[in-house]
Amino acid sequence: MKQILGGVIIALATLISAQVSAHTFEGNWYFVEGEYKKPDGTILKADNSSLVAVKSIKGNIFSLTNTEDGVFLGYLAGDFLVDGDNYTEAVKTGTRAKHHGKNYHFKGWLETRQEQGKTVTYWHHEGEVEGIKEYEVWRKLF
């Protein structure tokens, strides 16, 4: 009886810890489009016709790589901290040292659509990076 009870407790602890670390932003994401507003009011737009970016999130870790017109722009990686719909990317490393040690705060939400008979998930987020307000859309990779 003690062995069965011990096994149940271990199974429940494993299940609970797995659920605590999982959140809706986990997975691999492909950049779709973005809009960026500079402090002077200028608006810049980007989409995946020339900018290719992939963000991977597992538990409390994220990584991001991007290229533009086939040229590698860089990568960032660090902690991914979630609080409901809000999250923080705490950059620990990357190709641009100016981001190291910085925390970037965003509000994110998911949208699910049916496209060509498949369920597709889009991740919308908005926040500010280095004084530039950004709004981006990412698509979850299958």
CA 10 to CA 32: how far, in whole Å? 42
pLDDT at 113: 96
Specify the amino acid at residue 15.
L
Strand 27-37 with 118-129, pairing? unpaired
Q: What is the dihedral of CA 114, 119, 123, 124, to 10 degrees?
A: 10
Provide the whole-model pTM: 0.82
Half-sphere exposure of 75 (CA within 13 A, CB side): 10
Lowest mean pLDDT among 7-16, 41-50, 85-94, 133-142: 7-16
20 has a pLDDT exceeding 60: no
DSSP structural state of residue 97 = G
1 has a pLDDT exceeding 60: no
Domain hosting 32: range is 2-140
Q: Which helix (H) or strand (E) holds 16?
A: helix 2-21
Question: What domain count does the chain have?
Answer: 1
Q: Residue 76 maps to which CATH number?
A: 2.40.128
Over residues 95-137, the pLDDT tens digits come to 999 999 999 999 999 999 999 999 999 999 999 999 999 999 9
pLDDT at 7: 40
